[in-house]
């Protein structure tokens, strides 16, 4: 049963027996799902704000172990992040949506091209935060037109909301051993978005786990960032190191980063469920040719203005020129290409200390090569 409240205010005329409240939350959900697919989402499921009682404890443990590294914002507002019902007490339903960005190329193949950088597949064109948010807002507006008097809030990534456990509770897929959400009909190349609403919608059944004995994602991780299945130490994850971590990266980890200069796709690319992946419906995620395997020497020469122009509208822009060129220099240091040594040498006096440090490191790594 959905536990729907009949908010329509219908009551039986005096003298007649009251009829049972009509439960139309299932019909509302059906209409919403159809509309979500029309809007371009690939999957839409519903859960309740109180559906993830296990999340708060897991988050607290993750933070207590320091696994969030410099992401101090994860430790803030933990009461909201761990408990969606506390975030917005009036919310009755959480609509979880999948937005597919399946790459058209094999991201792992690019790791072998040493004088080129690899940008994660999700970041090869427009910033999904903007694209998904617009789509969520359109869907939300439609929902309010259908059922006036209700309210919505839309979230993608940046709010204190644990999107993966919510999506699992909604039956969108399950959290794999790599901790991301995957689904039998989608693989794992999709973003998540959420609409919280005061509208009562019939919740879906949670999905159960289908990883079985597989451990492909755990074994492929270049930095050993999984202390155990379903647990990630972000401090070792190349996605964290290239995107979130400010300042110099630990010298031990730099050689393991290879030519990954923004994010990392290895654990996602290893997942066998991707044989069921579907093509991205949104052309704004199709890779920009100049961002697939860009030339490291070329990227290292970007100044602030050049960086902003090259990555306008892309999620890469968020990390700024300094962190990006730092990453490029680590990749140059890992390239084994003597010809790139003078390229690194030009940056040893860079005004950004992390860039200068990375340039010196790259020069030292390439010093003995011919």
| Interface pick for ligand SF4 out of 99, 127, 202, 266 (rule CB under 6 A) | 266
Looking at beta carbons only, is 187 or 322 nearer to ligand B12? 187
Rounded to the nearest 5 percent, the helix, strand and coil shares of the chain are 40, 10, 45
Report the C-alpha gap between 144 and 32 in whole angstroms.
11
Looking at beta carbons only, is 41 or 240 nearer to ligand B12? 240
178 binds ligand SF4 (CB under 6 A): yes
Looking at beta carbons only, is 262 or 273 nearer to ligand SF4? 273
263 binds ligand B12 (CB under 6 A): yes
The contact mask relative to ligand SF4 for 197-216 (x = CB under 6 A, - = no) is --------------x--xxx
Structure tokens at 307: 């960086």
125 binds ligand B12 (CB under 6 A): no
Structure tokens at 358: 């990375």
285 binds ligand B12 (CB under 6 A): no
Instruction: Report H helices in the chain.
Output: 25-39, 55-64, 72-75, 78-82, 84-87, 128-146, 163-169, 216-220, 238-243, 266-269, 296-300, 304-310, 320-333, 341-345, 353-366
Q: Cβ 225 to ligand SF4, closest distance in Å?
A: 4
340 binds ligand SF4 (CB under 6 A): no
Q: Tokens 């901790």 label which residue?
A: 179
Q: Cβ 108 to ligand SF4, closest distance in Å?
A: 10
Report the C-alpha gap between 174 and 229 in whole angstroms.
14
Active site annotation includes 130: no
Looking at beta carbons only, is 222 or 322 nearer to ligand SF4? 222
Q: Cβ 264 to ligand SF4, closest distance in Å?
A: 3
Burial of 58 (0-12, 13-18, 19+ CB in 10 A): middle
Stretch that binds ligand SF4, among 222-230, 297-305, 337-345, 347-355 (CB under 6 A): 222-230
Chain centroid to CA 125: 15
Report the C-alpha gap between 339 and 361 in whole angstroms.
15
Q: By rule CB under 6 A, what count of residues binds ligand B12? A: 36
- Which residues does the annotation mark as catalytic? 157
């Amino acid at each position: 049963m959905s536990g729907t409240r009949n908010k329509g205010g219908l009551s039986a005329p005096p003298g007649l027996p009251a009829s049972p409240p009509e439960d139309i939350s299932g019909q509302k959900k059906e209409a919403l799902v159809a509309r979500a697919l029309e809007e371009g989402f690939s999957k839409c499921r519903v859960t309740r704000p109180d559906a993830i009682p296990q999340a708060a404890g897991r988050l607290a443990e993750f933070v207590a172990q320091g696994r969030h590294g410099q992401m101090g914002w994860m430790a803030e507002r933990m009461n909201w992040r761990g408990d969606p019902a506390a975030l917005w007490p009036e919310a009755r339903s959480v609509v979880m949506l999948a937005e597919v960005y399946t790459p058209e190329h094999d991201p792992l193949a690019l790791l072998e091209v040493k004088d080129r950088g690899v940008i994660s597949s999700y970041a090869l064109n427009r910033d999904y935060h903007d694209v998904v948010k617009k789509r969520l807002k359109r869907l939300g507006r439609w929902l309010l037109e259908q059922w006036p008097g209700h309210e919505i809030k839309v979230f993608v990534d940046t709010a204190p909301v644990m999107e993966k456990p919510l999506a699992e509770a909604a039956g969108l897929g399950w959290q794999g051993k790599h901790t991301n959400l995957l689904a039998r009909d989608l693989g794992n190349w999709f973003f998540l978005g959420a609409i919280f609403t005061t509208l009562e919608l019939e919740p879906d059944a949670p999905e159960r786990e289908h990883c079985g004995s597989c451990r492909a994602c755990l074994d492929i991780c270049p930095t050993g960032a999984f202390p155990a299945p379903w647990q990630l130490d972000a401090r070792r994850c190349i996605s964290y190191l290239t995107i979130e971590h400010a300042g110099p990266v630990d010298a031990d980890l730099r050689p393991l980063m290879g030519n990954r200069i923004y994010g990392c796709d290895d654990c996602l690319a290893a997942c066998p469920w991707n044989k069921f992946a579907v093509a991205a419906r949104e052309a704004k995620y199709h890779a920009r040719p100049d961002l697939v395997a860009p030339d490291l020497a070329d990227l290292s020469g970007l100044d602030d203005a050049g960086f902003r122009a090259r990555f306008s509208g892309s999620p890469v822009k968020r990390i700024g020129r300094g962190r990006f060129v730092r990453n490029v220099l680590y990749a140059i240091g890992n390239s084994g290409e003597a010809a790139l040594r003078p390229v690194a040498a030009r940056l040893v006096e860079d005004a950004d200390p992390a860039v200068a440090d990375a340039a010196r490191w790259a020069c030292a790594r390439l010093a003995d090569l011919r």
